Structure 1
Amino acid sequence: MQEEIAKAKQAMERKKKLAEKAAAKAAIRAQKEAEKKEKKEQEKKAKKKTGGNKETETEEVPEASEEEIEAPVQEEKPQKEKVFKEKPIRNRTRGRGPETIPRAILKRKKSTNYWVYAAPAALVVLLLLVLGYYYVL
């Protein structure tokens, strides 16, 4: 009983730690997004002031706050630009498995084939006629 209580307490502590970590990450992410938005707004204002000329544009560097200095800075890796080949026709490959049959076809009522019943019945009638002919004679 005490072991179960101890395990439950440890689980709660782990959950709390994970929640705190997630909250910290979310706060850092929100702060970075806010900084990006602020930077974009400053760039827009600078463009409006200069009339859209980049040559006369002066870059303003925002001051680093205390939280930014404490948080570990991750270097962003330069992303490779993906080069897409233009193909006018798209090749469609067939799947490996069997083709799927629509459910409506699977569930439809099968038509009864009357030849299955008619052929044996005709043979029985013929047999009776032949036997009757030989019996009468």
Structure 2
Amino acid sequence: MPRGEKSKYTDKQQHKAEHIEQSYEQKGVPKDEAEARAWATVNKQTGGGERKGGSGRAKSETAKRADRKDSAYRAAKARSGDAPNQRPARTTRSGSTSLTELTRDELMQRARERDVRGRSTMRKDELIKALS
């Protein structure tokens, strides 16, 4: 069962969680497990409930979009039976759209290719921002 107060979530997030939960239940997942998975998915995709103030790190819309696309890609692969729980090797990941999944070295290489100024002193999150 999911922990925590859910009143801080937007109506859209709550609706999404209900929809995901129903989908899991139709697949035969027990209700408590389906609910926990649904909220975990909503949290990953949207960064959790509504927050006031500046606590925590916010994901950029680009990063969220890329994560959703990557998640949909993995789900489609799982449905088709292609390596359901395995990620592709790092060397074959050049087609990935999510910069957040790349290592700092890989980001640095992309920044070098695009001739991003000041890249040598940038941290990973700064490189992601510069490449987005």
TM normalised by structure 2 equals 0.23
Q: Determine which structure has more spread, i.e. the larger CA radius of gyration.
A: 1
Greater RCO, CA 8 A, separation 6+: 2
Q: TM-score, normalised by structure 1?
A: 0.22
